[in-house]
Copies of this chain bind each other. A is one copy, B any other.
Amino acid sequence: MVYYYCTVNFENDLILRAANGENVERVPVWLMRQAGRILPEYRAVRASLSGFKELVETPELAAEVTIQPVDLLGVDAAIIFSDILVIPDAMGLPYRMEKGVGPIFDTTIKSASDILKLKIADPYFDLKYVTDAISITKKELNGRVPLIGFAGAPWTIFSYMIEGKGSKTFSEARKFLYQEPEAAHDLLQKITDSTIVYLKAQIEAGADMVQLFDSWAGILPKVHYLEFGLNYLRQICDAVNEVPITVFAKGAWFAIEEIGRLNCNTIGLDWHTSSEMARRLIGKEKTLQGNLDPCLLYASNEELVLETKSMLNNFGGQKHIANLGHGVYPDTNPEKVKLFINTIKEHKF
């Protein structure tokens, strides 16, 4: 683990200090999917466009919706508005977003020869819209809070490229691991190589920390997760050491000890993994991020405040970045999100 010292003077650098394991005067907070449908101001921007991808690919607008939750909700970090699937897109496998369905790949990866045709993403060319959005955001944030960059974990990206869409079982992607293990490794390596240069380009453009989202980690048997998931996360964590890095492997409770040994600063937790279990299995060194049940934002104010305080007390106030255990759900009332954030900001241990 490398410790990072800020060269920018942030007005609020709580999250960077927490990620670095330094003592903080209060727990920093942000929400996965904070830039998005929960905000009417986001929906207003989105309504003027042809679709989700147009927003992702228009740097000025992506920057605008990235900053909205900083202004409107008071979070301690911005996260660049983008999508994990820009990587397959940049590798030569385009996707489209279908209303009410989610991402669809009209062409999927079926064989080793399909993988040969894919290129390593060139972030300075194919993903310039992301690095431009980061540069604009950084300028407009003007040091108020740090900016988080992100990418999908290779296994999760792989799943979409094989399956072609979301799935309850991802049985096509999982079949490929059993039937074509060498080709699977080739594809995972190409995704990993693309992700490393992509994250480095994000950092160059101004991302102050980065997060890897392994959304479908929980579907793999442990032995497969270690082989096809964790090995590639490890390569990325070892290669990207310019800024603090967070790994969020949703549902991968069975591999938490191994995840805890990655060369990263922060481990994101879903709402099933208690702070006690995480500390016991990960040890004392890493910062933990999470993990309120996102559905608690549907509860009464009293219950939400009580459970938020309980979460804070369980994590103990240091080496903790407060967040939900999953992305905030689109129909969440922004007032509840503000209550969650303000409860964290005002909490006395």
Q: Give min CB distance, A313 to chain B, whole Å.
A: 16
A166 interface hit (Cβ, 8 Å): yes
Report which of B166, B179, B295 forms a contact with A178, defined as CB distance below 8 A: B295
Number of chain copies forming the complex: 2
Name the B residues within 8 Å of A2 (CB-CB).
none
- From A65-73, A115-123, A169-177, give the one contacting chain B: A169-177
B171 touching A299 by the CB < 8 A rule? no
The answer, yes or no, to whether A296 is at the interface (CB within 8 Å) is: yes
Q: A7 to B341, alpha carbons, bound, how many Å?
A: 63
CB interface residues, A 290-341, toward B, < 8 Å: 293-296, 298-300, 303, 326, 329, 331
Q: Are A295 and B329 in contact (CB under 8 A)?
A: no
- Least Cβ distance of A193 to chain B in Å? 26
Residues of A in contact (CB 8 Å), total: 28
Are B294 and A329 in contact (CB-based, < 8 A)? no
**Residue A128, interface by CB 8 Å:** no
Chain A residues at the B interface, C-beta cutoff of 8 Å: 166, 168-169, 171, 174-175, 177-179, 218, 221-222, 224, 253-254, 271-272, 293-296, 298-300, 303, 326, 329, 331
Q: Which of B171, B221, B271 contacts A329 (CB 8 A)?
A: B171
Q: Is the pair A171, B294 in contact by a Cβ cutoff of 8 Å?
A: yes
Given contacts A254-B272, A271-B221, A272-B254, contact A169 B293 (CB under 8 A): no
Further contacts, 15 of them, CB under 8 A, given A174-B298, A222-B272: A166-B168, A168-B168, A169-B326, A171-B294, A171-B331, A174-B293, A174-B295, A175-B295, A177-B295, A178-B296, A178-B300, A221-B272, A221-B293, A253-B253, A253-B272
* Closest residue on chain B to residue A254 by CB atoms: B272
Q: How far is the CB of A250 from chain B (nearest CB, A)?
A: 11
Bound together, the chains give a CA A179 to CA B333 distance in angstroms of: 13
User: A177 — nearest CB in chain B belongs to which residue?
Assistant: B295
CA A300 – CA B169 in complex, angstroms?
20
Q: CB distance B298 to A175 under 8 Å?
A: yes
Contacts A178-B303, A253-B253, A303-B178: A171 and B295 contacting too (C-beta < 8 A)?
yes
Q: Which residue of B lies closest to A169 (CB)?
A: B329
Q: Are A178 and B298 in contact (CB under 8 A)?
A: yes
Cα distance A185–B257 in the bound complex, in angstroms: 37
Contacts of A166 in B (CB 8 A): 168
Contacts of A169 in B (CB 8 A): 326, 329
Nearest first, the 5 A-B pairs at minimum CB distance are: A178-B299, A175-B298, A174-B295, A171-B329, A178-B298
Docked complex Cα distance between A208 and B178 (Å): 36
Enumerate chain B residues within 8 angstroms of A253, measured Cβ to Cβ.
Answer: 253-254, 272
Q: Name the residue in A171, A303, A331 with the highest tally of chain B Cβ atoms < 10 Å from its Cβ.
A: A171
Which single member of B175, B298, B326 contacts A179 (CB below 8 Å)?
B298
CB distance from A37 to the nearest CB of B (A): 13
